[in-house]
Structure formats: structure tokens, C-alpha cells
């Protein structure tokens, strides 16, 4: 299945006005941040306000604003693909005025200080909100624009980088199909690390392991090589056609951006050393793991949120039972949630 890459499509969809807004916002933040860092008292003097007692704190605010500016300039290269940066900026520009209103209402700040919120936050809310809307619309419409064949047809047509279809592999051995999030995702890297850690146990079982990803075939080879499983089959699915065929869907806000998800992202990304990479695919899609045997999907575990880490060894051992019996897998235990395939 040969389809255009995600990055190619997002480049075609990118609108000049979105890039212009982000470039303007980035330059403004850099200039404003530098002004505050090098001349921390000047803004208070212009507004006729008392000088702050701790200018270093105000300078730190300027430094943070400047860093945001770098993020906006990066996002300007492809606003649709880098919508999370825009979202973070939008939230900051929304809660900034909210915090000022609270401080003004409680007598902590004078009304004149609100001028800063007008130029730093309020005038950008509309453009940033419009960019987020365009990004959401593009991600939503992209999925509906792609025809998704019947699952049986997908199993015949979906071929690995070695030319084997999922159907043919499943007739050789029970096949565990692992669907990843986009390759730049911290949780995608965490899951691949999990697979790499148990590769010897998986290789010892009479099963195939197939990794389905959203990048190009070369991206897939690179990802698997990094975790020492380059000999496994992998399938490139940049339009998420196979994802949809297996019943996987785009996550809701809470499944992607809850405090639990964000905390685990920090834990795995920073403290776990998995980091964050380039967005390569639909960042809304959730992962999952399935077992295909004799041309039929006999087990499925779609992720409940972006952080889920399946017990691959347990799933593979149960899948290997199919090599000795024609019966399907029994109803999974609590660690292997059951799934009714959507067709």
C-alpha cells in the first residue's frame, strides 16, 4: 500500500497566513523578552508603576516569553503539524489575562498593568484559536477523505516492507500486530523500548511480530533498528488506513492531554530518556495490539489512552497457543482487555 507521507500532505495544506501569524508572534516574543531581560525597570517606568522588588523574577518572565517565541518560529514552518506548540501558546495567552483579572480584583495589581496582557495575550487569542481550528479540521477531514476497505481486503493488501501480506503471515504463524503512535511520540518510543527488552522472549515463540507505523518504510526500518528488532516485519501506513480498518480511532482530549498523560510523558520523556521527536503521522491516533490467525483477527487490545503499555509477552504466549489449536483465544484476563472488532 503506497500512500503519500504525512509531512508531504501537511506541507500542501499549510496556509501562509498561519505561518505569518506565528512568525510575527515569535519575533514579538523575542523582542519583548529581550527588552524585559536587559531593561527590567523600563516597562514599569513607562506605565507609571512602582518598580518590582525582585527584578530577577521579572527578567525570568522575559526569558520564558522569549523561549515561547522560539517555539512559535519553529511551529511557523508547518503550523498544522506543530499544532501542540500553538495549543500551549494559546493556553498561556488565555490564562494570562485570567490571572491578571484575579490579581486586579484582589488589589494585587493596578489596572494599568493590563496593557501588557492586551499586547502579549489578547490580540493573539483569535489568530491562535483559528490556527488550532484549522489544524483540528484538517486532522478530522483527512481521515474521512480516505476509503477504508473491508478488514479481509486490508489483510490481503497490507504488505510489510518485505512484501508479505498480513493474511499470508497469519497462515504461517499466529501474528501479533502492534500499532504505534507517531514515531516522535514519547510513548511510541517507550513501547518500542518495551518490545526491544522482550525481543528474545517473543522470538522464542512460534509467532510473527508485525509493527504498523505512520512513517515511511525507511522510517520504520530506522525505528526497528534502533531497538534491535529490524528483522521483524513492519508496515508503513501514513494515512492510518490499516489503523481504521482494525477499529482504532483518534483519541479524545482526555486520552491525549489529561494530567495523567502529561505526567507520564514527562516521566518517560525526560527522566526515562525517551525524549520527543519529529511529528510523523496523525498525533491524535491511539495505538493498539492485535492477533491475526488464519486470516482472522482473533484478539484486540486498543489503547485506553496514549500511555498504555501492553503486556506483549502475555499476548504473544496466548497467540502461540493458536499454533497448536484451531480454537480462538479465550476471553482475555483483566491485563488483556477484550475487544469487539468494529467492522
| Count of other CB atoms within 10 angstroms of residue 128 | 25
- Number of folded domains in the chain? 2
Query: Distance between CA atoms of 340 and 343, rounded to whole angstroms?
Result: 9
* pLDDT at position 334: 33
Query: In this structure, is residue 125 part of a structural domain?
Result: yes
Task: Indicate the pLDDT class of residue 314, thresholds 50, 70 and 90.
Answer: very high
**192, 286: one domain:** yes
Average pLDDT over residues 255-272: 87
132 and 166 co-located in one domain: no
Percent share of the chain, pLDDT over 70: 87
Range 283-302 average pLDDT: 92
| 114 and 237 together in one domain | no
Q: Last residue of some domain: 80, 110, 144?
A: 144
Q: What is the pLDDT of residues 325-337, one digit of tens each?
A: 555 444 333 333 3
Pick the residue with more confidence: 137 or 222?
Answer: 222
- Whether the model pTM is above 0.85: no
Asked if 235 contacts 214 with a C-beta cutoff of 8 angstroms, the reply is no
- In this structure, is the dihedral angle defined by the CA atoms of residues 297, 300, 305 and 309, taken in order, positive or negative? negative
Task: Let me know whether 164 and 75 are in one domain.
Answer: no
Q: What is the largest CA-CA distance in the chain?
A: 83
Confidence check: pLDDT of 10 > 50: no
User: N- to C-terminal Cα distance for the chain?
Assistant: 20
For 220, the grid coordinates are 520504520
Residue where a domain stops, chosen among 120, 144, 168: 144
The pLDDT mean for the chain works out to: 85
- At 19-49, the pLDDT tens digits run 999 999 999 999 999 999 999 888 888 888 8
Task: Tell whether 304 is covered by a domain.
Answer: yes
Same domain, 217 and 166: yes
Environment class of residue 56 by beta-carbon count within 10 Å: exposed (0-12), middle (13-18) or buried (19+)?
exposed
pLDDT tens digits, residue range 179-196? 999 878 889 999 999 999
> Is residue 338 included in any domain, yes or no?
no
Is there a single domain that holds both residue 139 and residue 155?
A: no
Asked whether residue 65 is domain-assigned, the answer is yes
CATH code of 181's domain = 3.40.30.10
* Interstrand relation of 288-293 and 296-302 (parallel, antiparallel or unpaired): antiparallel
Range of the domain at 237: 151-323
Alpha carbon separation from 322 to 187, 212, 296, 325, 330 (Å, rounded): 30, 22, 12, 5, 11
Based on the fold, state whether residues 137 and 158 are members of the same structural domain.
Answer: no
| pLDDT of 145 | 44
Q: Cα–Cα distance between 159 and 182 in angstroms, integer?
A: 19
On whether residue 339 sits in a domain, the answer given is no
Among the candidates 144, 160, 187, a domain finishes at: 144
Q: Are 174 and 139 in a shared domain?
A: no
In a domain, 74, yes or no: yes
Note whether 35 and 96 are same-domain residues.
yes
Structure confidence at residue 12 (pLDDT): 42
Residues 58 and 98 in one domain: yes
Calculate the dihedral angle through the C-alpha atoms of 96, 102, 105, 109, rounding to the nearest 10 degrees: -50
Tell me the three state secondary structure of residue 274: coil
Residues 29 and 155 in one domain: no
Q: CB under 8 Å to 131, separation ≥6 — which residues?
A: 18, 21, 22, 79, 83, 86
Amino acid at each position: 500500500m503506497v500512500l503519500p507521507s504525512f509531512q508531504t500532505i501537511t506541507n500542501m495544506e499549510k496556509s501562509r497566513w498561519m505561518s505569518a501569524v506565528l512568525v510575527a508572534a515569535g519575533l514579538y516574543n523575542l523582542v519583548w523578552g529581550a527588552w524585559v531581560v536587559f531593561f527590567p525597570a523600563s516597562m514599569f517606568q513607562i506605565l507609571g508603576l512602582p518598580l518590582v522588588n525582585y527584578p530577577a523574577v521579572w527578567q525570568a518572565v522575559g526569558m520564558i516569553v522569549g523561549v515561547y517565541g522560539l517555539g512559535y518560529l519553529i511551529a511557523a514552518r508547518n503550523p498544522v503539524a506543530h499544532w501542540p506548540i500553538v495549543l500551549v501558546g494559546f493556553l498561556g495567552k488565555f490564562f494570562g489575562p485570567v490571572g491578571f483579572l484575579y490579581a486586579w480584583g484582589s488589589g494585587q495589581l493596578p489596572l494599568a498593568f493590563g496593557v501588557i496582557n492586551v499586547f502579549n495575550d489578547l490580540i493573539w487569542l483569535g489568530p491562535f484559536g483559528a490556527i488550532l481550528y484549522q489544524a483540528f479540521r484538517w486532522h478530522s477531514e483527512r481521515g474521512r477523505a480516505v476509503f477504508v476497505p473491508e478488514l479481509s481486503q486490508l489483510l490481503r493488501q497490507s504488505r510489510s516492507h518485505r512484501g508479505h501480506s498480513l493474511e499470508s503471515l497469519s497462515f504461517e504463524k499466529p501474528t501479533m500486530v502492534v500499532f504505534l503512535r507517531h514515531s516522535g511520540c514519547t510513548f511510541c518510543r517507550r513501547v518500542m523500548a518495551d518490545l526491544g527488552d522482550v525481543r528474545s522472549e517473543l522470538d522464542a515463540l512460534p509467532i510473527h511480530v508485525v509493527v504498523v507505523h505512520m512513517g515511511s518504510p525507511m522510517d520504520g526500518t530506522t525505528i526497528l533498528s534502533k531497538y534491535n528488532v529490524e528483522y521483524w516485519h513492519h508496515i508503513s501506513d501514513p494515512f492510518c488506513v490499516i489503523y481504521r480498518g482494525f477499529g482504532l480511532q483518534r483519541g479524545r482530549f482526555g486520552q491525549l492531554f489529561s494530567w495523567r498523560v502529561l505526567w507520564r510523558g514527562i516521566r518517560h520523556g525526560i527522566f526515562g530518556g525517551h525524549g520527543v521527536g519529529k511529528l510523523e503521522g496523525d498525533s491524535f491516533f491511539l495505538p493498539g495490539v492485535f492477533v491475526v490467525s488464519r486470516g482472522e483477527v482473533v484478539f484486540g487490545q486498543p489503547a485506553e489512552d496514549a500511555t498504555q503499555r501492553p503486556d506483549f509477552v502475555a499476548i504473544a504466549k496466548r497467540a502461540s497457543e493458536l499454533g497448536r489449536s484451531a480454537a480462538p483465544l479465550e476471553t482475555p484476563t483483566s491485563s488483556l482487555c477484550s475487544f469487539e472488532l468494529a467492522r
